[in-house]
Every structure is written in structure tokens, then in C-alpha cells.
């Protein structure tokens, strides 16, 4: 196995034992990037010297016997809407070309404290919305990798880095994870602070991670979880969740899982529908189909009102000063956002609490829900990032969701299933996901 093929947990264990150095691991990732990124184009900014300099310093720390963090020496990609001090963060648009922050985002500071090596900035769609960036799907360069966290998903899927950061305001982690065939995790709303990250919509923006194993998902999320008084979503203190230790445990009882088609089941293609029905057959008595309250049929409309209104507010300066440099898609969203009334916006916001109550009651009976991550395989072409609608309900409600790469479509492309958990019970969701993976391998 090449070093760049190691998971983050595997590599970290070898670094701690002195079997490999961070420099050698980072060099292997650099060689992989040099080999394949010309076709995939997952990186918005990459500087091999910058990465190696960090790795060498971290190796000296370990050699000196100083304390090391849980991500010591591990390479990571950071989505190009997350500020990195003295490293370009251009937000996926020429409007902000040359933008170099002077301060790290909260999560980047956390990564550095944990010993991670910031490899560079991964490609995002335009201002993390729907207009695609340059990244191609690593399984088929004629297909989209999804969005908006396209570069992060592609970089992890093609073994350029073991882990990466992304964000989701609609389907920007789960969808690209599904299309690229990796684990993508959007934790509970408010678990990871967003200070220093491009703001689209304060009630909807959420940070998350990409990895090739559930252990890596748990370890990285545990590092990033925390309290930040600057972020209104994390204004209450709580202990850091012990995600990794709980995720690897066996459940005390066999989990009870609900299969949810959602009100948009007809959007899924036949292969995706058949795959999920076969999954339910495999899980047998551990799964049962459930129907969501009719209230959930309106969530896509509520989400659109909130998101587009907030886009109009957050991107007002770019619209007013450089409107001609925005895509038609984003201009249309902003203009629709300007047209919603304050009453409509606040009514939509009120629905979040209502949906929360319904889901909280549902998760008293079920350990997790499963539903498609996307409507099927990644679409052909680079003119769009695919339909995010299977993610919308769960983003709106702020519950944790995980893409599990378990299927292949008729063209050999990945198709994911989305596992959904109770809000602020992320560890149980990851434990249930591990149970499901073991069940499928029996």
C-alpha cells in the first residue's frame, strides 16, 4: 500500500509509532497530486513547499518527544471558502481573486492545534452555490463531482489526501461524497463553529468532513467540534463528543432503522430506488419503511425562501458592485431572494422548530433513518452539480447526516445511501453506520 492510500487513522498510528514521518506521507500525497490533478483539478491553491515545511516542523516536534495532537502530521484539504492565514482563499469566484486572509478560520486553527498539515485549498463552486468550478469526477472526468465541496470530495476519493473539509447549506457535502464515492459527514447544526468561513445563510450553513473511513470521519469531527462565542450557533458550552470511541463500539441492541423515501422519491432514478429496496431486504427485520409527516412536503419551499433571502443579504455587495461577474444562476437566486417578504422568511424559519419536534419524536423509536444521498449517479457534463433535493430536509432541520458509499450504478459510478441521525446524537449515528457496514459485509 502506498502511503497516500492510508487512512488518516492508519497514517497517524504509524507516525506516532515512528514507522513513517509526516514528511514522507506528505511527499507521497504531493506525488499523487502531481500525477493526477492535471485531469481532476481538485485544488484551487496548492504549494508543495508550504506543505513540506509544515510536515518537517511537525516531525521535529515528535522527534523531540513533545506532546502531539490527534492529527499530527496528517495532510488535509481545506475548502476554498474557509480562511487560511497568508494562503489564498478566493471563494470560487474571480470577484475575490487574490484574496489572502490574515487570520485562520476557527476550524483551521483547530486543525493546526491538532497537528494537521494544511495541504492547500480545494475547489469550491462559485461562492459555494450551484455554478460549477473546474473539478472533474475522479471516476469519470466527463461527469460532475457534485458541489459545492467538489474539490474536497474529489481529492479524498482520488487519494490525494485522506481527509478534507467541506460545508453544506443545501447538499454540498452529502451530494459530492455520493458522486465521488467517499464518506461525507455533516454533523449536527452548531457542532462545528463557522467563524472565518464564507457566510451564505446563518440558519442553514454547516461545516463537515470528507474521508475514506468512518474512523477518520469520527476522529476529524471530534477535533473540530467545539464552542465559539462568535458563532451564534455555538453559544452554549458542552463537552466535546467522544465520537471515535463510541462509533467503534457495538450497539447495546441491534439498531432499528427507518427507511424514508421522502416526498421527492419520484426524483430518484430506477437504479437508485432498486438499490435502496435491496438494501432494506438485506437489513431485514432491522429496518422498516416509514412515512414522514405531510409537513415535510413543504420543506424544500421553506429552505429556498431562507437560503435565497440570505444569499441576497450576504452577497449584496458583490451583486451591487460586480453583478456582471456573477453567474446567471447566482444572480437569479439573489434577485428572487430580494423579492421574499419578511413575513415569508420568518414563517419559513418557524418551521425549523416544528420539524425538529417531529424528528425528535421519531428518533425516540429509531436509531437512524436511511434515504438516498442523491437521485442517482453523478450526471454527465460539467454545467451543473446535480440535484441536492434529497439533502434539503436534513440540512433544514440541522440533523447529522452521513453519506455511506455502498452502491455502484449501471455505469460503474458510485451511488450513496444517506444515514440520518437525531440532532446532537452524532456518535450514535456513526455507531449505527458502522453496524450497517458490518452487516453488509457478513
Which positions are annotated as active-site residues? 79, 148, 172
Q: What is the DSSP letter of 293?
A: -
Q: Are 38 and 57 in contact (CB under 8 A)?
A: no
Cell numbers 514522507 label which residue? 24
Cell of 374: 442523491
- Indicate the Cα dihedral angle 115, 118, 122, 126, nearest 10°: 90
Closest CA to 435 of 282, 332, 329, 317: 282
3-state secondary structure of 195: coil
Q: What is the DSSP letter of 17?
A: H
- Cα 246 to Cα 174, 183, 214, 249, 430, distances in angstroms: 22, 18, 12, 5, 8
Whole-angstrom Cα distance, residue 222 to residue 232?
20
Whole-angstrom Cα distance, residue 404 to residue 418?
6
3-state secondary structure of 207: strand
Q: Are 152 and 164 in contact (CB under 8 A)?
A: yes
The radius of gyration of the chain from alpha carbons, rounded to an integer in Å, stands at 20
Closest CA to 233 of 280, 277, 195: 195
Whole-angstrom Cα distance, residue 116 to residue 336?
41
Closest CA to 78 of 44, 48, 127, 39: 44
CA atoms within 13 A on the CB side of 339: 7
Amino acid at each position: 500500500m502506498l502511503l497516500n492510500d492510508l487512512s488518516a487513522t492508519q497514517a497517524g498510528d504509524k507516525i506516532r509509532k515512528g514507522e513513517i514521518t509526516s514528511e514522507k506521507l506528505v511527499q507521497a500525497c504531493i506525488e499523487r497530486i502531481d500525477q493526477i490533478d492535471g485531469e481532476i483539478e481538485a485544488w484551487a491553491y496548492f504549494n508543495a513547499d508550504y506543505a513540506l515545511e509544515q510536515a518537517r516542523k511537525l516531525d521535529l516536534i515528535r522527534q523531540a518527544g513533545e506532546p502531539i495532537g490527534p492529527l499530527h502530521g496528517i495532510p488535509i484539504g481545506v475548502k476554498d471558502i474557509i480562511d487560511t492565514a497568508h494562503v489564498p482563499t478566493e471563494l470560487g469566484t474571480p470577484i475575490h481573486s487574490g484574496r489572502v486572509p490574515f487570520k485562520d478560520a476557527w476550524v483551521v486553527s483547530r486543525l493546526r492545534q491538532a497537528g494537521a498539515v494544511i495541504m492547500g485549498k480545494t475547489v469550491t463552486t462559485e461562492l459555494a452555490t450551484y455554478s460549477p468550478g473546474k473539478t472533474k469526477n475522479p471516476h469519470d472526468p466527463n461527469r460532475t463531482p457534485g458541489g459545492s465541496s467538489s474539490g474536497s470530495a474529489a481529492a479524498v476519493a482520488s487519494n490525494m489526501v485522506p481527509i478534507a473539509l467541506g460545508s453544506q447549506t443545501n447538499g454540498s457535502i452529502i451530494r459530492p461524497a455520493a458522486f465521488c464515492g467517499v464518506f461525507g459527514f455533516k454533523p449536527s447544526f452548531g457542532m462545528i463553529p463557522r467563524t472565518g468561513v464564507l457566510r451564505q445563510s446563518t440558519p442553514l450553513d454547516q461545516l463537515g468532513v470528507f474521508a475514506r473511513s468512518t474512523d477518520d470521519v469520527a476522529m476529524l469531527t471530534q477535533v473540530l467540534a467545539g464552542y465559539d462565542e462568535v458563532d451564534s450557533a455555538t453559544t452554549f458550552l458542552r463537552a466535546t463528543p467522544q465520537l471515535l470511541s463510541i462509533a467503534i463500539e457495538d450497539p447495546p441492541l441491534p439498531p432499528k432503522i427507518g427507511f424514508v423515501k421522502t416526498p421527492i422519491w419520484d426524483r430518484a432514478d430506477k437504479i437508485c430506488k432498486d438499490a435502496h429496496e435491496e438494501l432494506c431486504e438485506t437489513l431485514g427485520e432491522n429496518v422498516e419503511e416509514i412515512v414522514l409527516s405531510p409537513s415535510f412536503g413543504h420543506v424544500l419551499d421553506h429552505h429556498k425562501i431562507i437560503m435565497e433571502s440570505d444569499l441576497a443579504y450576504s452577497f449584496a455587495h458583490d451583486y451591487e458592485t460586480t453583478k456582471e461577474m456573477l453567474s446567471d444562476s447566482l444572480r437569479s437566486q439573489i434577485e428572487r431572494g430580494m423579492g421574499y417578504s419578511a413575513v415569508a422568511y420568518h414563517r419559513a424559519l418557524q418551521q425549523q422548530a416544528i420539524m425538529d419536534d417531529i424528528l425528535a419524536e421519531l428518533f425516540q423509536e429509531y436509531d437512524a433513518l436511511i434515504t438516498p444521498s442523491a437521485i442517482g449517479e453523478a450526471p454527465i457534463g460539467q454545467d451543473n452539480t446535480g440535484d441536492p433535493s434529497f439533502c434539503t430536509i436534513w440540512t433544514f432541520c440541522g440533523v447529522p447526516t452521513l453519506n455511506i458509499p455502498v452502491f455502484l450504478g449501471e455505469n460503474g459510478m458510485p451511488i450513496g445511501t444517506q444515514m440520518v441521525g437525531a440532532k446532537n446524537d452524532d456518535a450514535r449515528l456513526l455507531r449505527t453506520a458502522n453496524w450497517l457496514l458490518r452487516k453488509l459485509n457478513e
